[in-house]
Amino acid sequence: MAASVDAVVAGAGGFIGGHLVKSLLDEGKTVRAVDIKPLDEWYQVHGDTENLQRDLSDLANCREAVGDGAGEVYNLACNMGGMGFIENNKALCMLSVLPSTHMLMASKDAEVERFFYSSSACVYAGYKQTEADIAPLKEEDAYPADAEDGYGWEKLFSERMCRHFREDFGLQTRIARYHNIYGPEGTWDGGREKAPAATCRKIALAALNGEKTVEIWGDGEQTRSFTYIDDCVHGTKMFTRGDVTEPLNLGSSEMTTINNLYYLVADIAGIDIELKHVEGALGVRGRNSDNTLIQKYYGWEPSISLRDGMSKLYAWVYDEVKAKYKL
């Protein structure tokens, strides 16, 4: 059995996981980082961690990951991507219930001090998100349940698992409902990218190729809020170490249409664009985060503006696009 560490990050090879591991290391924590992907496919690899390639759908691997215990276990491991991915891979998304459940079991048996589960705004009821000009989603709006098919239902089920492991076994579980996390060092092409990175890729290609026409899925009037990675990491650690046991929103309350997201990035890039609306996966019509409870309990909410965050993401994606396509 592996020795105990300050923190275990499951899904450490992913976008959020890589940033979280770095933040924990900056605090001086000892970290075990685990992901199903080979190390050369991780978005960030940190040399001063114990890095393991393991499939956490297997309980034995979860026990190895948790080892003799940890102060904090962060479970970010799941199959996910942008709307184009989750609408076309529902079974794969549902299979994330295996690492979700087995990490809980391993953490309980190892008497882990705190267990964090990364849930999603996709747990929220679809009938609450039918209009673009939506009222911000409160935590209570997850019930009566009508979650995003596949991905959202797995997240909602695993939230309940966390609750019952806390109530029945005393495992101190904490849950964040992430709202569209974005930033550098993540997926920007290939089909799993989310709207912010996809937008930056399309605008970067337009800028580099001298084009004006940019494709966008749907009419572009669907609304979202987007949360910069630094705010996400801060909130994740705050929730894990805090006393609130119920799921809380972790999201920006700055809502925008997808059309305006494209125009914002074009302005950052210093180019004029014309949007060409095409068919594609859209998800719900509108979604925004109600931050009443996070402000009540922690006196804080994500505050990095969309322009500031997208400026950082665009600069990174631009360099990635230029290097990949040799433009």
pLDDT in tens, 11-41: 999 999 999 999 999 999 999 999 999 999 9
Same domain? For 19 and 152 the reply is yes
Q: How confident is the model at residue 1 (pLDDT cuts 50, 70, 90)?
A: low
The catalytic residue positions are 151
Tens of pLDDT, residues 234-275: 999 999 999 999 999 999 999 999 999 999 999 999 999 999
What sign for the dihedral angle of Cα 149, 19, 113, 33? positive
What does pLDDT average to over the chain?
A: 95
pLDDT at 282: 74
Instruction: Give the pLDDT confidence score for residue 2 in this predicted structure.
Output: 76
pLDDT > 70: percent of the chain: 99
131 and 218 part of one domain? no
> In the chain, what is the straight-line distance between the N-terminal and C-terminal CA atoms, in Å?
49
Question: Does the structure show a pLDDT above 80 at 56?
Answer: yes
Is residue 162 within 8 Å of residue 173, measured between CB atoms?
yes
297: pLDDT strictly greater than 70: yes
Average pLDDT estimate for 308-321: 98
pLDDT in tens, 176-223: 999 999 999 999 998 878 899 999 999 999 999 999 999 999 999 999
Q: Are residues 66 and 191 in the same domain?
A: no
Q: What is the DSSP letter of 28?
A: T
Same domain, 133 and 235: yes
Angle separating helix axes 59-66 and 97-109, nearest 10 degrees = 50
Is 59 in the same domain as 23? yes
Q: What is the pLDDT of residues 161-174, one digit of tens each?
A: 999 999 999 999 99
Return d(Cα 112, Cα 56) in angstroms, integer.
17
Same-domain status, 246 and 281: no
CATH of residue 264:
3.90.25.10
How many structural domains is the chain composed of? 2
The domain spanning residue 68 has which CATH number?
3.40.50.720
* Mean pLDDT for the stretch of residues 117-138: 93
Does 274 fall in a domain? yes
Higher pLDDT, 321 or 87: 321
pLDDT at 132: 86
Which residues touch 135 (CB under 8 Å, ≥6 apart)? Answer: 128, 288, 290
- 162 and 237 together in one domain: yes
**What range defines the domain where residue 81 resides?**
5-181+227-250
Phi and psi at 289, nearest 5°, equal -100, 125
pLDDT mean over 282-289:
88
104, 130: one domain: yes
| Residue 52 within a domain | yes
